[in-house]
Structure 1
Amino acid sequence: MPIWLEVIVRTLVSALILFVLTRLLGKRQISQLSFFEYITGITIGSITAYLSVDVDTHWYLGIISMGVWFLVSLGIEYLQLKSKKARDWIDSKATVLIKDGKIMEENLKKEKLTNDELLEQLRKKSIFQTAQVEFAVIEPDGEINALLKKEYQPLTLSALGVKAPPEPEPQTVIIDGNIMDEPLATLGFNRQWLHTELGKLGVSLDNVNLGQVDGLGQFYADLYDDNIQVPQPQVKATLLAQLKKCEADLEMYALSSEEPSAKQLYTSCSEELQKVIQNIKPVLAR
């Protein structure tokens, strides 16, 4: 076999084996690498590259070496799943870097981090003052997570005592100008409805890069032509305005009515409608 052909065969076989081993090791290998997984990934990749071009070496020896590293890595992962002590020793533990706004200098030195690096990581999380941080830790994968003090945390609906109803998952119904029938059917719509929505926006299907429908049935489109401004859907805003108008009309009827029973009825309906508006306003006001 010619050398160039042997290199091609070795490369294809090595790539296939590397792909299979990586799949078997799981997604964690490519998402959150521990120290040992980092070493394993580099080593197996180096063996694969060496196996592809070193025609003077028996190729099966490289495969055996890759297999051994794979089994060792698999064993380490199994040990981590079964033993917290082993997991803490291999992956290490999270280290506190800031507590009650005070930087823990000793822990910072232990993790070989400088103040500049810490501040950089905090800025990436939109935190610019360490005094605002209640608690910050560096995770075993090197990620720094921080909890702001209560007075500096963003205001949420739960903090206001407002319970927002769950919102169904948005569906992507157009990709690269092609209609996705399954997500469209999941929402209970069809192609005729979609073409009607496109007509409302005044755009053609072949000019739509991405089209999505939210849980309330509002259609959003991103066009290939960035110079065209697509109007935002006004269904929720219109519904909220109509509900407020109905509530205002009921109040007016209650004030203008001279019949006690009718006045009481209009007042009661107005109060109930106010409660409905308050409950759904967090969703319609988005």
Structure 2
Amino acid sequence: MKRKFDVVALTLHMVLWIGVVIVSLPFVWMLLSSVKSLPDFYTFSFFPHSIDWSGYLYVFQQTNYLRWYLNSLIVAVCVTTSGLVFDSLAGYALAKYKVPGVTAVFLLILSTLMIPTEMLVIPWYVMGSQLNWIDTFWGVMFPGMMEAFGVFLMRQFMLGVPNDLLDAARIDGLSEFKIWWRVAMPQVKLALSALGILTFLGNWNAYLWPVIATTTDPMRTLPVGISLYASADNGGIQWNTIMGMSTLAVIPIIIVFLVFQRRIVEGIALTGVKG
């Protein structure tokens, strides 16, 4: 029986390693292609014949790549911070305040999840134009500062915070804001971690709204900048440069995954079973 289980375990591990190789192969190819010369790239060899850093030098010397990188970092960090604060506040209020109409408000917020993003960009753009937010950081960030999914997620986890714990804090004289911050928030740290990771990654990779909301090169975010550079007339497609840009772009995602790997798995698992 033990030998049978060993064979099954070995087979599963082999299948998993094959999956790891298949998934990581495009990233390895992208990294190796970024240090090829352009003629070397068109030889279609997997490994470079010689290391060529000209693609990276071009990225830093001839493009606004560092500015795009900074823009994406600012947008991702600000939107994530705002989402964690306002989504948790709304989730706490919807879960713990039994006032008339609270269920209707929650259902109204939840119903917005059924609206495709493509249908929202027009009213977003009209509002941004009227308020002179187009081609500004605020214009790029405001649609994601508070999201229905985050409110739903935090509300579901806030329901699990014991009411007796909150009542004890009220008896001790804490204000409602301090109860939210010092009592409720520590109880839902796992949900906050999952929401923060998903929000950061989503905004780091966002393309549709930033490409609409930005009109000048210095305000572009990283996905928009790379996409427009790849489609521009630069004397032919500089694939080694594009691969260098893409390689540098995935560094924050890899860092977030390595640092918060356990939180990602636990958070996503709990979001599927929380009632």
Q: What is the TM-score with the length of structure 2 in the denominator?
A: 0.25
Q: Using CA pairs below 8 Å that are at least 6 residues apart, which structure has the higher relative contact order?
A: 2
Q: Highest Rg: 1 or 2?
A: 1
Point out the structure with the larger strand share. Answer: 1
